Amino acid sequence: MTRQRQILLDLIDQSGKHLDAESLYQLARAKDPKLNRVTVYRTLKLLKKGGLVDELDLLHYGGDQHYYETRAKQEHAHIICLRCGKVEEYFGESLQRLRRQIEEHFGFEILLTRTEVGGYCPHCQVLRARELAHAGEPQEDSHNRRK
């Protein structure tokens, strides 16, 4: 494990966020100014191939961006707000139960699961409700105003 690989792995593991390659590059440069973009992309590919990190698209919230996280010991679901982009992780027995049900129902040997759920976080639900209410209000235009 080279110093540069360790820097990236530590950043992914300790950030507490799902970071894209550009964000990782910026953070890594703060730790090692000699690190370049090509090295970051090459290192991410190696870490992914080596099973140390997972590459996620998170429902393509950020367009074609991909995000990285260290391979967790326990499978989890990603809950993504389609408005603000906030990502939560859900760990629960219900995911393990679903996995067992799929294995039993299809006779399928599951090696990997990825679960992503898109919707609106509580804060964005409030904002969205306000916007929808405001959009439903009749709009005054300058031609119909009485003087």
* Domain enclosing residue 31, as ranges: 1-71
Residue 136: predicted pLDDT = 74
Q: Tell me: do 93 and 44 sit in the same domain.
A: no
CA-atom Rg of the chain in angstroms:
21
Long-range pairs, 49-55, Cβ under 8 A, ≥24: 52/9, 53/9, 53/12, 54/114
Q: Tell me: do 94 and 38 sit in the same domain.
A: no
pLDDT digits (tens, 9 = 90+) for 116-131: 999 999 999 999 999 9
pLDDT digits (tens, 9 = 90+) for 33-64: 999 999 999 999 999 999 889 999 988 887 88
Q: Residue 88: beta bridge partners?
A: 79
Residue 71: predicted pLDDT = 83
Least reliable range by pLDDT among 26-35, 73-82, 132-141: 132-141
Mean pLDDT, the chain, integer: 88
Residue 139: predicted pLDDT = 59
Q: Tell me: do 90 and 130 sit in the same domain.
A: yes
Task: Give the CATH number of the domain where residue 24 resides.
Answer: 1.10.10.10
For 18, half-sphere exposure in the C-beta direction (CA atoms, 13 angstrom radius) is 23
Residue 147: predicted pLDDT = 42
Q: Tell me: do 49 and 85 sit in the same domain.
A: no
**Is pLDDT above 60 for 21?**
yes
| pTM of the predicted structure, to 2 decimals | 0.76
Are the C-beta atoms of residues 66 and 41 closer than 8 Å to each other?
no
**Residue 142: band (very low, low, confident or very high) from pLDDT cuts 50, 70, 90:** very low
Q: Tell me: do 52 and 78 sit in the same domain.
A: no
Q: Tell me: do 39 and 63 sit in the same domain.
A: yes
Sheet order of strands, 77-81 included: 87-90, 77-81, 115-119
| Mean pLDDT on 22-29 | 94
- Listing DSSP states for 53-85 in one string gives EEEE-GGGTTTT--EEEE--SS--EEEEETTT-
Cα separation, 121 vs 129, in Å, equals 12
Residue 140: predicted pLDDT = 58
